[in-house]
Amino acid sequence: MPPVLPDFSNSVKLKYVKLGYQYLVNHILTLTLIPIMIGVFLEVLRLGPEEILKLWNSLHFDLVQILCSAFLIIFIATVYFMSKPRTIYLVDYACFKPPVTCRVPFATFMEHSRLILKNNPKSVEFQMRILERSGLGEETCLPPPIHYIPPKPTMEAARGEAELVIFSAMDALFSKTGLKPKDIDILIVNCSLFSPTPSLSAMVINKYKLRSNIKSFNLSGMGCSAGLISIDLARDLLQVHPNSNAVVVSTEIITPNYYQGNERAMLLPNCLFRMGGAAILLSNRRSERRRAKYRLVHVVRTHKGADDKAYRCVFEEEDKEGKVGISLQKDLMAIAGEALKSNITTMGPLVLPASEQLLFLLTLIGRKIFNPKWKPYIPDFKQAFEHFCIHAGGRAVIDELQKNLQLSTEHVEASRMTLHRFGNTSSSSLWYELNYIESKGRMKRGDRVWQIAFGSGFKCNSAVWKCNRSIKTPVDGPWADCIDRYPVHIPEIVKL
């Protein structure tokens, strides 16, 4: 009877071999320098003090050499510090918590759908199937005008929603940070589908009587990833404007964009999108370093708009009856996967440890030279980040990223629970997720966070933050009254 070979793939010893490899490659410089330094130290001990003094005296220095060397060192240090990018701090942020009067349980949503689409029961049934599999819970919220039968998506109602969401988030940010409106140097507001005149940024300036020389920007039409585009814009502005504060407001106004037609591709957003918004304070002031929560490390943006399919996969248009809606195409997930691949190709070398980069390089060379059928190596991004904030665009988005990045259930917990509690709040969903991690008491000093978002166009944007200090569990915020109930089990299908 031949001996049975052990299953090396599941062997505990193999796990320690992998850990040893990672430690060896990631600390190769340290492990190389230590023996050299020990050797030099032993050689110095062997020489003795008299020989060391004799060696020093044999070196001839004159005043000109010393002054030139000092000048060169000072010049190089000056150039280095002048060219070094300014550090961007995330001082704090605040998320809008919708009032309970805006809550839309499944039963309410389906009752409204049956009354609004009473002439098309197939569309009602389609929405029910989507809602059953959406991953949303019973506490998500829609703005008051959508609660009417039929909905009343007027300009006045849309402005009312914008004021409620944005002003609530701004007031909470002022309260948390002690920031005064006159201290804001840069204001960026992003809202994809509602772009009135005057702009939403002008609305904020008018409400809080901001300075006349404020640098304000209003981003629209950029989808669910616009929040990170706003962060990138704020970073660039803070690099050229020293000693400044920037406030970024991310939201999506639902009122004018609730689709009342029968096209299935356009009914899908009705089931997923909900009220939400966030206000974020960024600063390049050194005085904010101690109290700031995070430091911005990287922002990577990927745009696939040159491809026609990618450009049209999320598209605002009229249906056959002339009703405007957002059409989501079936190949959306495949396009998102390609955008993510391009994004992490750029992000990988910036954040991955040497051990993962070496394995990726060796696999790539092996596929090119030896066998193209070799399975490509997927880098372990868990070596680079402690926390992941994946845009809560829908259950399929989270499932796909968890699979592709080989993440654990805990890594995607914040995204799934945000989708369950608040729904898809568009560009602000990343901040609800970050707040979930903080509310669970998991954010420690030195932890790295990866925010990933997708948006129309088609775009995949990501940002990397490093925690500046261990963060205490917040006593307020959107999760304050329900964090003890989470995480909850979310079944594959909720029968309605």
190, 425 contact by CB (below 8 A): no
Distance from C-alpha of 383 to C-alpha of 362, rounded to nearest angstrom: 18
Has residue 229 got a pLDDT over 80? yes
Has residue 197 got a pLDDT over 70? yes
User: Over the stretch 3-44, which tens digit does the pLDDT of each residue have?
Assistant: 444 443 444 455 555 556 555 666 667 767 888 888 877 777
Cβ-proximal residues to 248 (8 Å cutoff; 6+ apart), any chain: 188, 189, 190, 227, 230, 231, 234, 279, 280, 282
Tokens of 122: 């197939």
262, 295 contact by CB (below 8 A): no
Instruction: Name which of 78-87, 96-105, 281-290 the model is least confident about.
Output: 78-87
Catalytic residue of the set 190, 262, 313, 391: 391
Largest CA distance in the chain: 102
Distance from C-alpha of 459 to C-alpha of 391, rounded to nearest angstrom: 12
User: Over the stretch 122-174, which tens digit does the pLDDT of each residue have?
Assistant: 999 999 999 999 999 999 999 999 999 889 899 999 999 999 999 999 999 99
pLDDT category at 389 given cuts 50, 70, 90 is very high
Question: 38-42, 150-154, 247-251, 313-317 — which one is most confidently predicted on average?
Answer: 247-251
Give the rounded percent of residues in the chain with a pLDDT score beyond 90. Answer: 68
State residue 371's pLDDT score: 77
Instruction: Provide the CA 109 distance to its chain's centre, in angstroms.
Output: 29
Residue type, 305: G
pLDDT category at 90 given cuts 50, 70, 90 is very high
Q: How many CB atoms lie within 10 A of CB 285?
A: 17
Q: How many CB atoms lie within 10 A of CB 101?
A: 8
State residue 22's pLDDT score: 59
Catalytic residue of the set 424, 435, 461, 468: 424
Kindly state the average pLDDT of the residues 263-281: 94
Distance from C-alpha of 464 to C-alpha of 348, rounded to nearest angstrom: 12
State residue 8's pLDDT score: 37
Catalytic residue of the set 112, 218, 271, 387: 387
Kindly state the average pLDDT of the residues 74-81: 80
Kindly state the average pLDDT of the residues 178-207: 96
Rounded to 5 degrees, φ, ψ at 255 are: -50, -55
- Residue 112 known to be catalytic: no
Has residue 420 got a pLDDT over 90? yes
Cis peptide before 198 (omega within 30 of 0): yes
Give pTM, 2 decimals.
0.87
Distance from C-alpha of 191 to C-alpha of 226, rounded to nearest angstrom: 8
- Residue 420 known to be catalytic: yes
Instruction: Provide the CA 94 distance to its chain's centre, in angstroms.
Output: 15
User: Over the stretch 351-364, which tens digit does the pLDDT of each residue have?
Assistant: 988 878 888 778 87
Q: Which 3 state secondary structure label does DSSP give 89?
A: strand
State residue 61's pLDDT score: 65
State residue 158's pLDDT score: 96
State residue 232's pLDDT score: 97
Instruction: Provide the CA 312 distance to its chain's centre, in angstroms.
Output: 24
Kindly state the average pLDDT of the residues 204-215: 97
CA distances from 60 to 51, 53, 64, 65, 67 (A): 16, 13, 12, 10, 14
State residue 418's pLDDT score: 97
Has residue 108 got a pLDDT over 80? yes
- Residue 424 known to be catalytic: yes
State residue 416's pLDDT score: 97
Nearest one of 247, 199, 205 to 221, comparing CA atoms: 199
- If you ran DSSP here, which 8-state letter would residue 410 be given? T
Across all residues in the chain, what is the average pLDDT? 89
451, 222 contact by CB (below 8 A): no
User: Over the stretch 274-284, which tens digit does the pLDDT of each residue have?
Assistant: 999 999 999 99
pLDDT category at 368 given cuts 50, 70, 90 is confident
User: Over the stretch 428-478, which tens digit does the pLDDT of each residue have?
Assistant: 999 999 999 999 999 999 999 999 999 998 999 999 999 999 999 998 999
In the block, tokens 């420690």 appear at 444
96, 278 contact by CB (below 8 A): yes
State residue 9's pLDDT score: 42
- Residue 224 known to be catalytic: yes
Catalytic residue of the set 95, 271, 420, 468: 420
Nearest one of 129, 140, 125 to 492, comparing CA atoms: 129
87, 295 contact by CB (below 8 A): yes
Cα torsion through 426, 430, 431, 433, rounded to 10: 120
Catalytic residue of the set 95, 224, 271, 460: 224
Nearest one of 226, 227, 234, 225 to 278, comparing CA atoms: 227
Tokens of 364: 């790539």
Distance from C-alpha of 272 to C-alpha of 131, rounded to nearest angstrom: 8
Rounded to 5 degrees, φ, ψ at 243 are: 55, 50
Distance from C-alpha of 193 to C-alpha of 340, rounded to nearest angstrom: 24
